[in-house]
Amino acid sequence: MTDDVLIRTEGAAGFLSLNRPKAIHALTLPMVHAMTAALLAWRDDPAVQVVILDHAVAPDGDPKLSRGFCAGGDIAFLRNSALNDGGASGRQFFFDEYRLNHLIFTYPKPVVTFMDGITMGGGVGLAGPSQYRVATEATRLAMPETGIGLFPDVGGGWYLSRLHGRLGQYLALTGARLDGAECLWADLATHYLPSAATAAAKARIAADPSAVAATLHALAAVPPEPKIAAVAETIARTFASDRYEDILAALAAEDGDWARATLETLGHKSPQTCKVALRQLHDSLSLTDFADNMAMEYRVASRVLVRPDFAEGVRAVIVDKDHTPRWNPATPEGVTDDLIEAIFAPLPADEEWTPLP
């Protein structure tokens, strides 16, 4: 077990509180294993009727150490794996993390995730499959993987492809951040509460787990107008194609500051990742089982982990922090259909992802 996840029961609730504040609670493999073990133990425990997933708050209340729910996965660890062990330990991380995502998705008891703060990458992977997803004024949700040469995994293909108006394709390619009001508008959150009301919500849920929805409704606040709604029609039009070059052309032909800024943003993203994400969302939408989505994403993860863009993207953002990644291939045109096919191809039967037995 690990101190990076605080595991406890209170009333009829099991609590999983992420506790790596200096890393904004980014997930490590021991954290994944600890949460999985707790969920399996509680699954058939009649004393635990609901699971609450949140982040621990710094004892001294330091806001810098209480900034988020979960900033993602341990990408420094994954880069080290790509460079030093051929991706073996990184593939193990993805395999087990995806099993946790699937366990939450199929869990027989309600899971309530409080996205009170930064919720990115692996944090979306924990919140997305939860039955109740609570946003606050502090929520900042994003799938920023195109900026590090990975791809929007942990179930991102499933959630993003099913958003309205091509919003998922926009989020997957640009890594745009949504605030809590925008998450509620987009259906990425089920409820919007003030941060100040989250402690009371958790206490009430633990005391009466049969009334989760009523409790969240009673404590909910009216969110501000979602800013992204103003450009929703433009997003739907410019991101309509599953071909990346068509999206770039549509943005270039669009008048206005938003389109210019979006095109500028995409100019810094990994062309490989953008094409992978579009294929991922296209394929996921045709799937009817979340496990099939995770098997598809594991195939992709096992390959992009050891391709040049991931190590280079993490170098540029995390290691050297020069924010000037040298992508390979460097252009959308250089990312061939054959390359994408190879990334999505089935793995050998004994290497394919499977849910927990």
Q: What is the mean pLDDT of each run of 10 residues along the chain (357 residues)?
A: 91 97 94 98 98 88 78 92 96 98 98 97 97 98 96 97 97 98 98 97 98 98 97 98 98 96 97 98 97 98 97 94 96 98 98 97
CA pair distance 278, 83, nearest whole angstrom: 27
CA pair distance 31, 3, nearest whole angstrom: 8
CA pair distance 143, 131, nearest whole angstrom: 20
pLDDT of residue 151: 96
pLDDT of residue 57: 85
Cα distances from 246 to residues 42, 264, 280, 318, 347, in angstroms, run 48, 15, 17, 31, 30
Q: In this structure, what token pair is assigned to residue 272? A: 């490989």
Q: How many CB atoms are closer than 10 A to CB 279? A: 21
Q: Residue 190 pairs with which residues in a beta bridge?
A: none
Q: In this structure, what token pair is assigned to residue 349? A: 């039967």
Measured at the CA of 177, the angle between CA 294 and CA 197, to 5 degrees, comes to 95
pLDDT of residue 261: 98
pTM for the predicted model, two decimal places = 0.96
pLDDT of residue 2: 79
Q: In this structure, what token pair is assigned to residue 104? A: 């939450």
Active site (catalytic) residues: 73, 122, 145, 153
